[in-house]
Structure 1
Amino acid sequence: MSDADGAIRLTIHLDGAVLWHHRPAYVELVHRAHYEGLAGASVFHGFTGFGAQRRIYRERPAHLAARGPCAVVLVDEEERLRCFLLSVQDVLEHAEAVAVLDRVRIHRSGARAVG
């Protein structure tokens, strides 16, 4: 993906405690993104948050990996992320996740990407 391409950010919000075939759903999403060759994926765990069920999560940092709100963030070309969204519907429906697509500008500082 070059700087001139129209970049899109896909943010998937879900409960970090949701499992997909005995592992966290967010881990499954990252593995599928890697398998599909997307530019990258990051998972961010929150300290406090709430979702569709209106339950407020308040966790200590040591427990963040086990439960609480998290977001999987991916940035790539729009077509690739839309295809990815379709391919992970099984996980998203199981996790009652919310996916948000928004346009972003890529700003690189420091080292250049290799490839």
Structure 2
Amino acid sequence: MKRESTAILLRIYIGESYRYKGKPLYTYIVEMLKAEGIAGATVFRGIMGFGKRSLIHTTSILRLSTDLPILIEVTDLEENIEKIKPKLDEVITQGLITEEKVKIVFYDSNKSE
């Protein structure tokens, strides 16, 4: 079965070394999103990037970084995203969040595997 709807995609850009309440910030955010009932989130670890300070962070053996880029993608209905934004404001002290409307195509075969 295929369903389509409109949703919001948040992209949260932070550093791998960022922490909150003693754990990696990306872990804290994903656990919070799950607890809030958000439809889905995925964490990506970048192999190279730079941000506001223009410092290049890379996995290159010549310039091995201890603070690689982390991207958290979150997709859900607009009302659910609006609900979690204040919680993100509380835990993110540096980084970047982008937001855009997206079309979701959800496939569900209704078969348990």
Amino acid at match of 2:68: G
1:112: Cα distance to partner?
5.2
- Using a 3 Å threshold, how does the CA distance of structure 1 residues 113 and 36 change in structure 2: closer, same or farther? farther
Query: Contact conserved, 2:3 with 2:107, CA < 8 A, in 1?
Result: no
Q: Distance in 1 between matches of 2:74 and 2:39?
A: 8
Change (3 A) 1:98 1:112: farther
Which aligned runs of 4 or more in structure 1 are off by greater than 4 angstroms? none
Corresponding residue number in structure 1 for 2:24: 24
**TM-score normalised per structure 1:** 0.81
More strand by share: 2
Offset from partner CA, 1:30-64 (integer Å, 9 cap, x none): 0100000000111000000011121110115xx89
1:85 and 2:74 aligned: no
2:7 corresponds to which residue? 7
Aligned length: 109
Q: What CA distance in whole angstroms lies between the structure 2 residues aligned with 1:87 and 1:23?
A: 16
Does the 8 Å contact 2:5/2:105 carry over to 1?
no
Segments of 5+ residues of structure 2 without an aligned counterpart are none
Gapped runs of 5+ residues in structure 1? none
Hey, what's the Cα distance between the residues in 2 that align with 1:113 and 1:41? 23
SS at match of 1:107: strand
Q: Sequence identity, in percent?
A: 24
Q: TM-score, normalised by structure 2?
A: 0.83
